[in-house]
Amino acid sequence: MEPQGGDVHTVADLIDRYGELSRQIELVKPAIAEHKMLGSVIQGMFADFPADQPRTAQGRLYTLQISARELQTTFHNIRSVYKALGVQRFLEKCSITLKAVKDSVGEEQYQKLVTTARTGPRTIKAVANIAASQVA
């Protein structure tokens, strides 16, 4: 989005808001990482409980409500799916990860099968023009 004449103020406000939100997000990243790690530990504590039963865990300040395990559906035999769809429809619908192919065929063969180009998204990094403490 290029500034267009009278839109400079609006664009500056947009950029400044994005920058401020970026700064705030950086401040909470350590807490988010710790929250994720603690969640994994707590999940592990309940790994052997019956899958269809919710549980609670009591702390001094909080009670955690741990749900029953979510329902997940998987194919029990991918060959049967292949047969049911036929080769053409199976290949149209099939998806395989780059990592799975690389792990299966090795680096040299993998490089012959892929193309790498700068088609991904850009990153945006906000750099403060002035210290946040100077903003009134």
Q: Give residue-wise pLDDT tens across range 62-104.
A: 999 999 999 999 999 999 999 999 999 999 999 999 999 999 9
Q: Is residue 64 located within the same domain as residue 41?
A: yes
9, pLDDT greater than 80: no
Closest by Cα among 52, 88, 48 to 67: 52
Q: What is the pLDDT of residue 135?
A: 61
Band of pLDDT at residue 8, cut at 50, 70 and 90? low
Asked if residues 64 and 57 have their Cβ atoms less than 8 Å apart, the reply is yes
Q: Is residue 10 located within the same domain as residue 43?
A: yes
Q: Is residue 1 located within the same domain as residue 67?
A: yes
pLDDT (tens digit per residue) in 74-83: 999 999 999 9
In order, the DSSP letters of 22-54 are HHHHHHHHHHHHHHHHHHHHHHHHTTTS-TT--
18, pLDDT greater than 90: yes
Q: Does 39 map to a domain?
A: yes
Band of pLDDT at residue 4, cut at 50, 70 and 90? low
pTM, two decimals, is 0.69
Q: Is residue 21 located within the same domain as residue 65?
A: yes
Q: Is residue 2 located within the same domain as residue 52?
A: yes
Task: For residue 58, give its domain range.
Answer: 1-71
Q: Does 133 map to a domain?
A: no
Distance CA 54, CA 66 (A): 6
